[in-house]
Amino acid sequence: MKTSLRPKAIVVGAGIMGLAYAKTLAERGYSVDVFEKSEKASGSSIRNFGMVWPVGQPIGKLYNRAIKSREIWIELCKAANIWHKKTGSIQLLSNPLELELGKEFIERESFNREGLQLLDKKQTLSTLPLANKKNTLGAIFSGTEIIVEAREAIRRIPDYLSETQTIRFHFGCAVIEVMPNKIRTATNKTYEAEIIVICNGYELNTLYPSVFKAAPITISHLQMLRSERISAMIPAICAGLSFLHYKSYEKLPSSAIYEHWVKENYPKQHYHGIHLLISQNYQNQLTIGDSHDYGIHHDPFQLESVDDLILDYLNDVLEIPDFKIAQRWTGQYLKLKNGDSEWFQEIEQNVWVANGPGGAGMTLSFGMAEDTINQLIG
Ligand SMILES: Cc1cc2nc3c(=O)[nH]c(=O)nc-3n(C[C@H](O)[C@H](O)[C@H](O)COP(=O)(O)OP(=O)(O)OC[C@H]3O[C@@H](n4cnc5c(N)ncnc54)[C@H](O)[C@@H]3O)c2cc1C
């Protein structure tokens, strides 16, 4: 492929959002340079569960975007020989109110979603023998979720894209200034392009700090754990508290009464924004989380008590016999406070910010890049 005849694009950031925009722009005929300040991507995109999770997105634009992203993930992983698994997901329901919400969700949504079904207790325990036998009443099964090992996938995709597309990656190269059609790096080199897309994640103080200061944003700070390998193979899991965390569940008839119940029965989990997500990688290790603490600045100190609350809740819904924690870390992501999941805005001539999917960037970024670049250049 000849790069010299192509129009040029620059992408800042090699997290999932930067990778999605680089891929989409290259497919639309651009020669793309991606600048990433770290030697390897190390932001939100390598700290997550690797869940591509359409069941959490509301029907309409965001669900369609999640399904589009899922297709792209599968195609890309197959082409680049990156591990991925079509697990579907199980949401465990552990009390009558959760079971009622499960029924309401299925009744409202099953017409529009692939493979959605309510499992009774027997079906749940045969699909997931590790479900807590005493507490489990049933589950929502959804067929659309896939898992990748984020820390591997996000770092291997650049190799594949640079081999197969007109994309060059510049790792260890911070962009310190952006002007219309031009950027300057920390090594004082300048590069020019017809279009510049800033995919900076939660880094708010380097480029256009006044734009980020004025924007309706905050940063979510999450505690995460990884287990040593377990003997069982499990699907991707969430549980009742996730009814409070995804837009897809909003405004079910029993939503308000459930939130009240959670405040009474899981007050500490509610306070720390805890719900349970578990993904299993190809080494049978479990990635487990998470908590949510919101604010522009966070101290770097992880709270053992918050990890304990996550694990207490895990033990209410699952019984995992050979279970030992191997790693703990924190993750951050930028979150829009106006409830949107997309921030794509021209902040200076031909300079765009692409951000905003919050806790669903693995699920939405490929679809968002396709939709927004289609609108921009067809
Ligand atoms: C703990 C956790 C769990 C999550 N789980 C999931 C999940 O399972 N499924 C899901 O869909 N979503 C999940 N998310 C959300 C998802 O990870 C994020 O939405 C997504 O990774 C954001 O991608 P990004 O590319 O915008 O940001 P990042 O991944 O943070 O990438 C931004 C990159 O830009 C670089 N950068 C910034 N400024 C500059 C500069 N000036 N010059 C050069 N480089 C720069 C940074 O170094 C960074 O690598 C989770 C998030 C967290 C934190």
Q: Are residues 331 and 346 in the same domain?
A: no
Residue 54 lies in a domain: no
What single string gives the DSSP state of each residue in 177-189? Answer: EEETTEEEETTS-
Taking the CA atoms of residue 92, residue 97, residue 102 and residue 103 in that order, the dihedral angle to the nearest 10 degrees is 140
In a domain, 188, yes or no: yes
72 in a domain, yes or no?
no
Both tokens of 279, joined, read 């993904």
Residue 4 — very low, low, confident or very high, per pLDDT cuts 50/70/90? low
In the structure encoding, which two tokens stand for residue 24, read together? 């989409």
Ligand 1 pocket: which of 147, 280, 333, 372 to mutate (most atoms within 8 A of CB): 333
Q: Is residue 237 part of a domain?
A: yes
CB 356 within 8 A of CB 369: no
Whether residues 201 and 231 share a domain: the answer is no
Examine residue 67 and state whether it is found in any structural domain, yes or no: no
Last residue of a domain, one of 303, 321, 336: 336
Question: Do residues 247 and 327 both lie within one domain?
Answer: yes
- Kindly state whether residues 159 and 267 are assigned to the same domain: no
Distance 43 CA to ligand 1 centre (A): 5
The reported pLDDT for the residue numbered 160 is: 98
What's the 110 CA to ligand 1 centre distance in angstroms? 31
Question: Locate tokens 């499960």: which residue?
Answer: 102
Residue 378 has pLDDT above 90, yes or no: no
Compute the distance from residue 28 Cα to the ligand 1 centre, in Å: 24
**Average pLDDT, stretch 133-144?**
97
User: Does residue 361's CB lie within 6 angstroms of at least one atom of ligand 1?
Assistant: yes
Q: What pLDDT, on the 0 to 100 scale, is given for residue 114? A: 86
Q: Reply yes or no on whether the pLDDT at 107 is more than 60.
A: yes
Query: Per residue in 230-248, pLDDT tens?
Result: 999 999 999 999 999 999 9
- CATH for 19: 3.50.50.60
pLDDT at 241: 98
Q: Ligand 1: which of 65, 197, 200, 290 to mutate, most ligand atoms within 8 Å of CB?
A: 200
Say what the pLDDT of residue 346 is. Answer: 97
Q: Identify whether residues 128 and 246 lie together within a single domain.
A: yes
The residue whose C-alpha atom lies closest to atom 22 belonging to ligand 1 is 361
End-to-end CA distance of the chain: 21
Q: Please spell the DSSP secondary structure of 244-283, one letter per residue.
A: GT-GGGTT-TTHHHHHHHHHHHSHHHHHTT---EEEE-TT
Residues 114, 224 within the same domain:
yes
Q: Best mutation site among 343, 362, 364, 368 for ligand 1, i.e. most ligand atoms within 8 A of its Cβ?
A: 362
2 pLDDT band, cuts 50/70/90, is low
Q: Considering only CA atoms, which residue is closest to atom 37 of ligand 1?
A: 200
In this structure, are 329 and 276 located in the same domain? yes
Nearest alpha carbon, ligand 1 atom 34: 13
Beta bridge partner(s), residue 170: 35
**Residue 243 falls inside a structural domain:** yes
Q: What is the DSSP string of 308-372?
A: HHHHHHHHHHB--SS--EEEEEEEEEEEETTS-S-EEEEEETTEEEEE--GGGHHHHHHHHHHHH
- Domain range for 370: 8-47+151-215+340-377
Is the N-terminal amide bond of 290 cis, ω within 30° of 0? yes
What the block records as the tokens of 26 is 């290259």
Residue of 23, 34, 42, 48 with the most ligand 1 atoms within 8 Å of its CB, for mutation:
48
Q: Would 12 be classed as within a structural domain?
A: yes
- Residues 195 and 309 occupy one common structural domain: no
Distance (angstroms) between ligand 1 centre and the Cα of 16 equals 6
Total domain count, the chain:
2
Task: Report yes or no on 232 lying in a domain.
Answer: yes
Same domain, 187 and 224: no
291: CATH? 3.30.9.10
CB atoms inside a 10 Å sphere around CB 300 = 6
353 in contact with ligand 1, CB cutoff 6 A: no
Give the tens place of pLDDT for each residue, 43-98: 999 999 999 999 999 999 999 999 999 999 999 999 999 999 999 999 999 999 99
Residues 211 and 320 in one domain: no
Are 40 and 189 within one domain?
Answer: yes
Residue 351 and residue 202 share a domain: yes
Using alpha carbons, select from 313, 358, 306, 295 the residue that is nearest to residue 328.
306
